[in-house]
């Protein structure tokens, strides 16, 4: 098998009589595997019943078509299920179920149809042929790894609604929805599975900044499944919680076999780690999902109402933050049903008065709260925009969609005060698109965004603000002119406005041509960049974002930032979008001239250009990095990262404060020769030095 190839496998399963012994097959293991299984709520079941209502009854009952990649094509996936599963207390019940439904005789062994080296595009283009050939009832989908590995930038990528054949982008739900829409039209029930993580330390892996694409894709897929009420198996989170990529994978992407065997559902396999078990865990979770579809959708059983609320968070803690007007919070994630499963969302609030069950709803709700993680996971966030020197109470509740937990512990902390200091930070793009009243089609997959009169080219941007621990007082969005633009000269008088409506890359213009507020909301706005002159390809243009606009976005009062031309020239002012990839993607710089923590809180730490040292420079294999004066600085206030000259993150180094003061070593023996940048961020200041790797 070629490591870089992906394969779409179609597992043919014939059906016979209705499975006669529908039962709950979950929980036969002593592990926490059920936390990651697809959760079948009544709303989801109602949706799946509607989908199934369009299914052709002349097709093959219980047949499962699996869309995937080389991970799915491995012999350790599905083929072992042609025989009996072992190692689990309810193995007999599981075998009876699978042998009566999706695995009768040799369907799995002889029913696969595979093709190597494929991506989301290939899957989307082959759903139709697969349905015609297999006539399935259920489709299991796990795809996207190769799109990251090949670093697709969207060259040749067009709107999938208009042109299916033009797909082949970095992994995104824009393409994924074309797969599910074809399945749903045919009445075939999709089961979505998140992809396993990729081992970025494998020597065969191209050293580029692709982890961000992996995580963005996985998170988008989760939202996509929730929004569309489709069952989702969170294999990615199972892997992250059970050892991560290094012990679970044989190379950059392909799992090792479990030491107990590929057909085993033993605790040893379902606990992951050095024992392996990625495929075994997926076996288990797919069997459970198929079983629930048979029970709830085909046999008509209703899922048990969820009456068990998440357990209350008992260790919510608060402390003064690193910057003026901030408080740092931390807690341990609770479960979906008491302490098991993953909760749906948090509601986190603060008040200057002690918070109780009675007044929780009247306390101020905090935006930008992280999503719940697996039970027992440590979580944290920084609350911004508080009044320096004021004492606040904080409280949290968790929800499973249907029930809210009891009130958490209620800690108190004083928002940090301090002296003035300048600061700046680069934040990365996470989504962008543009809207046109004259062409209300989806533009989110395009490699450019367009500024073209206020009702014909409204650009919309969303950035990753999670690392910004201050409320900026100004910002600028940095865009590069597109080489594909038809305009010789660019002309615009731009305005920046805080977006106050929900939006994503599938958003399109709605309503009349003058319906700007109906499409981006009536948020605060301010003048930005004016330009009238020749187009200069690849030149970076900086659009200033005023205090009122960036503050609305940073504090969560806005969902993004829009730029539009208030003039009427009609010129296509095109700039590269995030889909272009590489060094051409938009980004935003945020600035502050505000306050940091007091001297006592940060030990009077002050950085100067002479305190970062790297040696030797140039170097051949490894370089020593040290920063003086950090031995008393809390580790949470500094980071060390290595970038290439295009701004791609190469490595994030972990080091304690004393180790960094003494010097840490970075090994670059796997990298190509060239110039890299060492960046140290400490207490709001950034130090950087260029280093030269020679071979």
Q: Does domain 317-417 have CATH number 3.30.2130.10?
A: no
- Residue 382 pairs in a beta bridge with 328
pLDDT number for residue 151: 54
Alpha carbon 247 to chain centroid, angstroms = 22
pLDDT number for residue 475: 87
Residue partners of 176: CB distance under 8 A and separation at least 6 = 120, 143, 144, 221, 224
Backbone angles phi, psi at 120, to 5 degrees: -60, -40
H-helix or E-strand spanning residue 453: helix 453-456
pLDDT number for residue 657: 57
CATH superfamily of this structure's domain 603-693: Macroglobulin (MG2) domain (2.60.40.1930)
pLDDT number for residue 496: 93
Residue partners of 30: CB distance under 8 A and separation at least 6 = 267
pLDDT number for residue 594: 41
Query: Are 279 and 76 contacting, i.e. CB atoms less than 8 angstroms apart?
Result: yes
**Cα separation of 11 and 139, whole Å?**
9
Is-same-fold flag (317-417; 603-693)? yes
Q: Does domain 421-595 have CATH number 2.60.120?
A: yes
Backbone angles phi, psi at 317, to 5 degrees: -125, 150
pLDDT number for residue 424: 66
- CATH placement of domain 39-298: 3.40.50.1110
pLDDT number for residue 17: 40
**pTM for the model:** 0.56
Report, as ranges of residue numbers, the positions in the chain whose pLDDT lies below 50: 1-21, 153-166, 206-209, 419-422, 594-610
Average pLDDT, the chain: 80
Q: Which two tokens stand for residue 522?
A: 């009536």
CA distances in angstroms from 28 to 32, 170, 336, listed in the order given: 10, 38, 19
Domain residue limits, the chain: 39-298, 317-417, 421-595, 603-693
pLDDT number for residue 210: 64
Q: Which two tokens stand for residue 611?
A: 């305190």
Query: Are 624 and 665 contacting, i.e. CB atoms less than 8 angstroms apart?
Result: yes
**Cα separation of 263 and 260, whole Å?**
8
Query: What is the DSSP pairing of strand 189-193 with strand 232-233?
Result: parallel
């Amino acid at each position: 098998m070629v490591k870089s190839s992906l394969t779409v496998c179609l597992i043919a399963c014939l059906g016979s009589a209705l499975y006669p012994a529908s039962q709950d097959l979950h929980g036969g293991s002593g592990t926490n595997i059920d936390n990651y299984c697809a959760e079948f709520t009544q709303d989801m079941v109602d949706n799946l019943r509607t989908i199934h209502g369009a299914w052709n009854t002349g097709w093959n009952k219980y047949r499962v078509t699996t869309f995937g990649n080389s991970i799915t094509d491995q012999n350790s996936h599905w083929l072992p299920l042609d025989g009996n599963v072992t190692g689990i207390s309810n193995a007999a019940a599981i075998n009876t179920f699978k042998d009566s439904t999706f695995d009768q005789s040799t369907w799995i062994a002889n029913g696969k149809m595979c093709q190597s080296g494929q991506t989301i595009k290939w899957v989307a283009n082959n759903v139709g042929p697969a349905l015609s050939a297999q006539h399935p009832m259920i489709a299991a989908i796990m795809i996207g790894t190769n799109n990251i590995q090949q670093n697709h930038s969207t060259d040749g990528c067009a709107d999938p609604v208009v042109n299916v054949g033009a797909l082949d982008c970095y992994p995104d739900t824009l393409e994924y929805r074309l797969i599910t829409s074809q399945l749903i039209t045919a009445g075939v029930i999709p089961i979505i599975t998140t992809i396993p993580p990729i081992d970025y330390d494998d020597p065969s892996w191209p050293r580029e900044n692709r982890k961000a694409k992996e995580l963005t894709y996985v998170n988008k897929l989760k939202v996509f499944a929730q929004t569309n009420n489709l069952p989702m198996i969170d294999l990615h989170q199972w892997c992250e919680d059970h050892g991560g990529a290094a012990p679970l994978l044989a190379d950059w992407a392909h799992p090792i076999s479990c030491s107990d065997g590929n057909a085993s559902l033993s605790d040893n396999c379902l606990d992951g780690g050095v024992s392996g078990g990625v495929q075994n865990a997926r076996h288990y979770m797919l069997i459970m999902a198929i079983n629930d579809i048979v029970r709830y959708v085909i046999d008509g059983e209703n899922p048990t109402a969820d009456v068990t609320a998440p357990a209350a968070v008992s260790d919510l803690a608060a402390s003064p933050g690193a910057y003026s007007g901030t408080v740092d919070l931390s807690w341990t994630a609770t479960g979906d049903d008491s302490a098991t499963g993953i909760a749906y969302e948090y509601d986190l609030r603060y008040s200057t008065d002690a918070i109780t069950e009675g007044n929780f709803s009247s306390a101020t709700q905090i935006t930008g709260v992280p999503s719940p993680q697996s039970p027992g996971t440590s979580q944290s966030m920084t609350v911004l925009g508080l009044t320096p020197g004021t004492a606040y109470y904080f409280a949290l509740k968790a929800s499973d969609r249907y029930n809210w937990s009891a009130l958490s512990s209620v800690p108190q902390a004083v928002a940090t005060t301090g002296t003035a200091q300048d600061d700046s930070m680069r934040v990365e793009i996470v989504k962008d698109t543009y809207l046109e009243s004259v062409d209300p089609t989806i533009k989110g997959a395009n490699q450019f965004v367009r500024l073209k009169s206020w009702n014909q080219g409204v650009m919309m941007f969303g950035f990753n603000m999670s690392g910004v621990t201050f409320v900026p007082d100004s910002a600028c969005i940095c865009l590069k002119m597109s080489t594909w633009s038809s305009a010789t000269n660019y002309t615009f008088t731009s305005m920046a406005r805080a977006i106050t409506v929900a939006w994503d890359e599938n958003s399109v213009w709605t309503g009349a041509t003058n319906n700007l507020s109906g499409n981006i909301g009536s948020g605060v706005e301010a003048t930005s960049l004016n330009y009238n002159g020749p187009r200069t390809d690849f030149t970076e243009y900086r659009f200033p974002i005023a205090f009122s606009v960036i503050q609305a976005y940073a504090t969560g009062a806005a969902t993004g930032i829009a730029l539009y031309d208030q003039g009427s020239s009609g010129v296509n002012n095109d700039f590269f979008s995030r889909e272009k990839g590489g060094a051409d993607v938009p980004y935003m710089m945020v600035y502050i001239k505000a306050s940091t923590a007091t001297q006592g809180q940060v030990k009077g730490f002050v950085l100067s250009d002479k305190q970062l040292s790297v040696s030797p420079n140039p170097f051949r294999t490894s370089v020593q990095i040290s920063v003086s004066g950090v031995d008393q600085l809390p580790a949470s206030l500094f980071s060390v990262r290595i970038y290439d000259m295009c701004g791609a993150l190469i490595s994030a180094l972990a080091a304690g404060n004393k180790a960094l003061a003494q010097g840490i070593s970075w090994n670059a023996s796997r990298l190509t020769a060239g110039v890299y940048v060492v960046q140290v961020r400490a207490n709001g200041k950034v130090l950087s030095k260029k280093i030269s790797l020679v071979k």
